[in-house]
Chains A and B, each alone.
Chain A
Amino acid sequence: MSQAARTNWTSASTEAIKTGSWRLAVPAYVNPPAPCHNACPVDGDIAAWIQHVRNQAYRDAWLTLIENNPLPAVTGRICHRPCEDSCNRRQLDEAIAIRCLERFVGDMALDKGWAIPETGVSRKAKIAVVGGGPAGLAVAFHLRRMGYAITLFEAQPQLGGVLRYGIPSYRLPKDILDAEIERLLALGIDARTNTRISSLADFEKLRSEFAAVFIATGAAVPKRLHQLDYSQPWVIESARYLEESNAGNSPQCGERVVVIGGGSAAMDVARTARRHGKEVVVLCLEGERQMPAQEDEVVEAKDEGITLIDGAMLQSVTDRKQKGLRLACIRVEFAAGAEPGEFEITPIHDTEFTIDADTIVPAIGQDPDTTKLQDLLQVEGGLVQVDAQKRTSVAGFFAGGDLVTMQRFVSVAFGFGKQAAIEIDRYIRAERKARDVQDQSSVPIEVINTHYHPPAARAKQQVVPALERRTSFGEVELALSGGEAHAESQRCFSCGNCTFCDNCFFFCPDMAIARENGGYSVDGDYCKGCGLCVRECPTGAIVMRQEI
Chain B
Amino acid sequence: MRLPAIAERHFLASGHAACPGCPMALAMRHILNAMGPDTIAVAAPSCAAIICGAQPYSSLNIPVYQTSLESSAAAASGIRRALNAQGKHDITVIALAGDGGTYDIGFQALSSAVERDEDMIYFCFDNEGYMNTGGQKSSATPLYASTGSTPSGKPSKKKNLVEIMAAHEIPYAATATPAHLPDLVRKVEKAKSISGSRIITILIPCLAGWGLGDDEGVASARLAVDSGVFPLYEVERGHRYTLNQATKTRTVKDYLQAQRRYRHLTAQELDEIQAMVDASWARLVERCAPVQPE
A contact residues vs B (CB 8 Å cutoff)? 8-19, 22-23, 451, 501-503, 506-512, 523, 525-526, 528-532, 534-536
Contacts and interface: CB of A to CB of B under 8 A. Distances in A.
Interface in B1-58: 1, 3, 7, 10, 12-26, 29-30, 53, 55-58
Given A14-B14, A509-B21, A502 B59 contact: no
Given A15-B15, A511-B29, A529-B20, A535 B56 contact: no
Given A16-B57, A509-B24, 15 more contacts: A12-B58, A13-B61, A14-B59, A15-B14, A17-B17, A19-B17, A501-B1, A509-B25, A509-B26, A511-B10, A529-B214, A530-B21, A531-B21, A532-B21, A536-B219
A531 to B, nearest CB: 4
20 contacts: A9-B58, A11-B56, A13-B59, A14-B57, A15-B15, A17-B17, A18-B15, A19-B16, A451-B222, A508-B26, A509-B23, A509-B29, A510-B14, A510-B25, A511-B10, A511-B14, A528-B19, A531-B21, A532-B217, A534-B215
B259 to A, nearest CB: 16
| Interface size, B (range) | 35 or more
Contact of A12 (B14, B24, B56): B56
A509 B15 contact: no
Contact of A13 (B17, B18, B19, B58): B58
Contacts of B16: 14, 17, 19, 510
A523 B10 CA distance: 15
B288 interface: no
A398 to B, nearest CB: 49
Most chain A Cβ neighbours within 10 Å, of B12, B15, B23, B216: B15
Contacts of B55: 9-10
B21 A523 contact: no
A10 B58 contact: yes
Contacts of A503: 1
B20 A23 contact: yes
Contact of B181 (A12, A451, A506): A506
Nearest to B219: A535
A523 B215 contact: no
A500 to B, nearest CB: 11
Interface of B: 1, 3, 7, 10, 12-26, 29-30, 53, 55-59, 61, 181, 213-219, 222
A527 B219 CA distance: 20
A10 B20 contact: no
Contacts of B3: 502, 506
B15 A22 contact: no
Given A18-B15, A501-B1, A507-B26, A13 B219 contact: no
B14 A10 contact: no
A12 B216 CA distance: 32
A535 B181 CA distance: 16
Shortest 8 CB-CB distances between A and B: which pairs?
Answer: A530-B21, A528-B20, A14-B15, A531-B215, A526-B14, A509-B25, A530-B20, A17-B15
B283 to A, nearest CB: 27
Nearest to A452: B1
Contacts of B217: 532
B47 to A, nearest CB: 12
B261 to A, nearest CB: 20
A10 B218 contact: no
Contact of B1 (A12, A506, A526): A506
B57 A506 contact: no
A532 B14 CA distance: 16
B133 to A, nearest CB: 21
A528 B20 CA distance: 5
Contacts of B19: 528
Contact of B53 (A14, A512, A523): A14
Contacts of A510: 14, 16, 18, 25
Contacts of A15: 13-15
